[in-house]
A and B are shown apart, each in its own frame.
Chain A
């Protein structure tokens, strides 16, 4: 069945780089787009960026200078890297699937705290 699962460090120090992995199963990354969405504690959702089935990427302009999304199709993994982390980057980070304008499955999310 279709699954997406985020993984990564729960705690990152300010100014450091965040690295997250979204491991998917039940579908091919070349057929579906995968996007990252984050949610600060008690707040709303923010689209961060995504990688399309053809490998192209797009980013939220507010994060573009710090954010990189890539993938390894052989491992069914999508990667998020964001540098220069600040306390306001503390959030739950979700990966989610999209194809043909249809959003469907989401991962459970991973909580990332930026603190020294």
Chain B
């Protein structure tokens, strides 16, 4: 199974800052990675597919990058509404696997 090691597990930030979430795959997954945002009591919301493609309606402050084993979600100019848990997912090889999640909190 491909293990997705996500870091950090949690981070504190301030509105207007830039934050980076990382996922490292235990083997190459090409660009077959998605990123999701989940707020308390809600289902996950799509952000990025195929590593770098932002879904329609997702603010351009969210950027996905990476290839192979290393992937990054960058949030520029964090807004209060971005406080949530973020998950990466590799869907290159079955079983598809999620990272452990990154909780973004306000300082």
Contacts and interface: CB of A to CB of B under 8 A. Distances in A.
Main secondary structure of the interface of B (DSSP, over half): loop
Size band of the interface chain B makes with A: 20 to 34
Nearest to A60: B95
Contacts of B100: 44
Contacts of A94: 43-44
Contact of B32 (A47, A60, A101): A101
A103 to B, nearest CB: 5
Interface stretch (A20-28, A72-80, A83-91, A105-113): A105-113
A29 B4 CA distance: 29
B23 interface: no
B50 interface: yes
Contacts of B101: 44-45
B97 interface: yes
Main secondary structure of the interface of A (DSSP, over half): strand
Q: Which of B34, B55, B89, B94 has most chain A Cβ within 10 Å?
A: B94
Interface string A43-62: 01111000000000011111
A18 to B, nearest CB: 19
Given A47-B96, A61-B1, A101 B44 contact: no
B88 to A, nearest CB: 10
Given A44-B101, A47-B97, A60-B95, A106 B87 contact: no
B62 interface: no
A58 B46 CA distance: 22
A59 B94 CA distance: 8
B44 A45 contact: yes
Contacts of A59: 95
A97 to B, nearest CB: 10
Contacts of B1: 61
Contact of A47 (B53, B55, B89): B89
A47 B89 CA distance: 9
